[in-house]
Amino acid sequence: MDNLVRVKYPELTRRRLERGFRHEKDLADEMGMARQHLNSILNKDNVEGITLGVAFKICRGLSAPEEPCAIEDIFEFILD
């Protein structure tokens, strides 16, 4: 089974998401999909788990040079 993570701070993450992703041209489609996935998680009250790979893509999209985003800043691991 893939490692799953959960959004740790839904409101903080929602505000970052509303400010927008920083797109690199080659990542735009991938980030758009990650953004949709993250939106659906935030709208479901942080219940759904997502894979670690998607979480890293989301963090890459939310990062900016002046405000880097580490996976631990947004997600917590779900252990089974």
Assess whether pLDDT exceeds 70 at residue 71: yes
Q: Which domain holds residue 57?
A: 4-78
Strand 4-7 and strand 75-78: the pairing is antiparallel
52 CB-near residues (< 8 Å, 6+ apart) = 2, 3, 4, 5, 71
Overall number of domains in the chain: 1
* pTM for this predicted structure: 0.55
In percent, how much of the chain has pLDDT > 70?
36
